[in-house]
Amino acid sequence: MPGKMPNWTKKFGYGEFIHLEHRNCRACMMKGDKVFREVEDNCFDAGIRVKDMADSDVTKQVLSTIPVLFNYWAKPKDGMETSRFFNDHIADTVEKNPGKFIGIGTVPMQDVDQAIKEMERCVTELKFPGLEIGSNINKKNLSEKEFFPFYKAAEKLGCALFVHPWKMIGTKQMQKYWLPWLVGMPAETSRAICSMIFGGVFEKFPGLRVAFAHGGGSFPITLGRIEHGFDMRPDLCAVDNNKSPKSYVGKFWIDSLVHDPNALEYIVKVMGDNNICLGSDYPFPLGEQQPGKLIREMNFEPTLKEKLLYKNALQWLNIRDDSITY
């Protein structure tokens, strides 16, 4: 995030909170008293980010908070405070860089009433078209009924949701080789999609517009297995929703961040060419170094490339193409 961060570590204690310590043009993300990640100035300097966008032929970028700053572990009032800070800061960055950014917010999902309150502020006051939420909320699946009022409010407000993996399942069992990011994240995203399908979220809230990160994780390639399991063991899979998992293809979005032309071609075939948005994961190592490069190099029709590069994202965010300024 650009700008100066308040010293929340003293207020909240050490736990899991991530804060930034600026060191020249870099910042260290601290988890407790240990360095979690060193980030470049393009994480907190909007001017550098705009320059990077120009260098990589990106005309507009959606800004969101890094998932480790969701702070779902915190007390609700503290989670609300940090959410408001991040959301105000993104809104300020959008306002000071006209035509460059679209902001989506974060909310304290550990308290649904507070999350709804901040979502309303994000949509009505800050003019954000959506929010980013985690793939689980303190280990609770997104299918839990306690989150249904949040989905109902998002549907009513027309607030898009972007689900990003975090707190990946199995992390403790696969510490080496960066496996939580390489294996855990794709599984975590599939967990979120399956939870929302099997839990009846898409069925109960058909107007909800949800996008999932990283090509939908392992969901597209395992959809056949998921459908087969649903058919063979409805006693285990269809306990909350008896609709086929495949029937929900086309009713949510995924991004294009798969790093492989065969994989991109496959997800377009399986998930549909109207439901895949350009994903960059900028500016982190698992991101596409030249956002959109893979799409541009594919042997796709120009109309399909346009959809993948920006039109599908505008549809997910419910933003009219002719209303966009660059």
Transcribe 225-268 into DSSP letters: HHHHHHHH-HHHHSSS--S-GGGGTTSSEEE---S-HHHHHHHH
> Is residue 178 situated within a structural domain?
yes
Output the tens digit of pLDDT for each of the chain's 326 residues.
333 334 333 333 333 444 444 444 456 666 667 776 777 888 878 999 999 999 989 999 999 999 989 999 999 999 999 999 999 999 999 999 999 999 999 999 999 999 999 999 999 999 999 999 999 999 999 999 999 999 999 999 999 999 999 999 898 899 899 999 999 999 999 999 999 999 999 999 999 999 999 999 999 999 999 999 999 999 999 999 999 999 999 999 999 999 999 999 999 999 999 999 999 998 888 999 899 999 999 999 999 999 999 999 999 999 988 776 65
- For residue 210, what are the β-bridge partners? 161
Residue 104 lies in a domain: yes
In sequence order, what DSSP letters do the residues of 32-67 get, joined into one string? Answer: TTEEEEEE-GGGT-HHHHHHHHHHTT---EEE---G
- Separation of alpha carbons 62 and 316, rounded Å: 12
What is the domain range of residue 230?
A: 48-323
Q: Which residues pair with 186 in a beta bridge?
A: none
Note whether residue 38 is domain-resident: no
Residue 132 amino acid letter = E
Query: How many CA atoms lie within 13 Å of 307's alpha carbon, on the beta-carbon side?
Result: 13
DSSP 204: H
**Would 35 be classed as within a structural domain?**
no
Count of structural domains within the chain: 1
The CATH number assigned to the domain holding 172 equals 3.20.20.140
Asked if the structure places residue 29 within a domain, the reply is no
Structure token digits, residue 91: 């809104």
Answer yes or no: is 15 within a domain: no
* Cβ atoms of 60 and 100 closer than 8 Å: yes
Give residue 166's Cα distance to chain centre. Answer: 10
Residue 234: inside a domain:
yes
In-domain check, residue 122? yes
